[in-house]
Amino acid sequence: MEKVIQCPICGDIDHCFEDNQGDYSSFMCFKCGYMSDTRFNKEHDKEANQNTAVLINQIKKWDNDREIYWYPSVVNMGKLGMIFPNGDQNDWKWNFAKVKPVKEHTEATKGYDNFLDIDNADEYEKDDFISAIKDMGITKDLNNAKN
């Protein structure tokens, strides 16, 4: 069951969803791009820490009401590309890197037709995750979530 909630991170009331799976709920805000889960408590965070990028750790947010951490999303959609936070904790933006065909092969690209062009990623403001998602072309899923 999915319902709209007020985002505890950015305060948006239209784009933040709670998806109840029975034993747990997951959360996703399409405005600020933060996501969470009722299982993301302090203990979970300690374990997850070891495998999480430094920036994600630095900009995660504590949700006092639910007693869980919210993390910025990393959306890897294969051929559609990847959306991730980039920068440092005081000045970061959403980046959308597209998958592009390899034109001139180097040692590193041998055997690959495409690569993720992180160096030329498009940038979006912190509160504009939704534009990155739209440009990626997965708004259809977002509209479904609203219904």
9 binds Zn ion (CB under 5 A): yes
9 or 136: CB nearest Zn ion: 9
Residue 114 vs 125, nearer CB to Zn ion: 125
Nearest to 145 by CA among 63, 41, 31: 31
Q: Which of residues 70-129 bind Zn ion (CB under 5 A)?
A: none
H/E element holding 59? Answer: helix 54-59
28 close to 57: Cβ distance less than 8 angstroms = no
The only residue of 29, 35, 75, 130 in contact with Zn ion, by rule CB under 5 A: 29
Select from 31, 60, 98, 126 the one that contacts Zn ion (CB under 5 A): 31
Q: Please identify which residue in the block is written with the tokens 């639910």.
A: 66
CB 35 within 8 A of CB 48: no
- Beta carbon of residue 103, minimum distance to Zn ion (angstroms, whole number): 38
Q: In sequence order, what are the residues at sequence separation of 6 or more whose Cβ sits closer than 8 angstroms to the Cβ of residue 110? A: none
Q: Does 7 bind Zn ion (CB under 5 A)?
A: yes
The contact set with Zn ion (CB under 5 A) reads 7, 9-10, 12, 29, 31-32
